[in-house]
Amino acid sequence: MDQETRLKTFTPHDELDKWKDTRFYRDDQYVHFLHAEQLKKWVEAGGRAGLGSHGEVQGLGTHWELWMMASGGMTNHDALRTATIHSADAIGLSGDIGSLEVGKLADLQVGDENPLEDLRHTTSISHVMKNGRLYEAATLMEVWPRDRVLPTQWWWRVEPEQGDR
């Protein structure tokens, strides 16, 4: 399932219409490249930053922020560390989230591809664990500890059929 199909499955059509086109346009329309170049220097010098997606596009927006943050040449490892443990630390929650450790909350994503090789692989998610329950990412069907299909979402009844989305 591609990312556009996932967005259409889990987001009502009227929300998607507000975003219109979710792709970047020309590089000179965005200042984030200049910010990302400075962020790379800051992180390499030992500084810390946090990632926030601002909620524009739930789920995918965080990936976009991560990719933009790294667009100035930051290594994939530094970008992932900034997005996880450093971000948790920035909001005062690194004792509870941000890394996999005994005693921490362990919501996680299972990826099919390695984001250390290509940061865009962060969207190749096959499963998500939240509150101890494992879900298929493409369908949000719970697969552990029980089998449970995602209930019909209200917009599925007022939208075109699944194949038309």
pLDDT in tens, 107-142: 889 999 999 999 999 999 999 999 899 999 999 999
Q: How many distinct structural domains can be found in the chain?
A: 1
For residue 56, name the pLDDT band (cuts at 50, 70, 90): low
pLDDT recorded at residue 38: 95
Q: Which of 84, 21, 28 is nearest to 52 (CA)?
A: 84
- Name the residue with higher pLDDT: 155 or 69: 69
pLDDT recorded at residue 165: 45
Q: At residue 98, what is the residue type?
A: G
Taking CA 142 as the corner, what is the angle to CA 137 and CA 146, rounded to the nearest 5 degrees? 155
For residue 106, name the pLDDT band (cuts at 50, 70, 90): confident
- For the entire predicted model, the pTM comes to 0.80
**110, 100 contact by CB (below 8 A):** no
pLDDT recorded at residue 58: 74
Q: pLDDT tens, 146-156?
A: 999 999 988 88
Domain interval for residue 92: 3-164
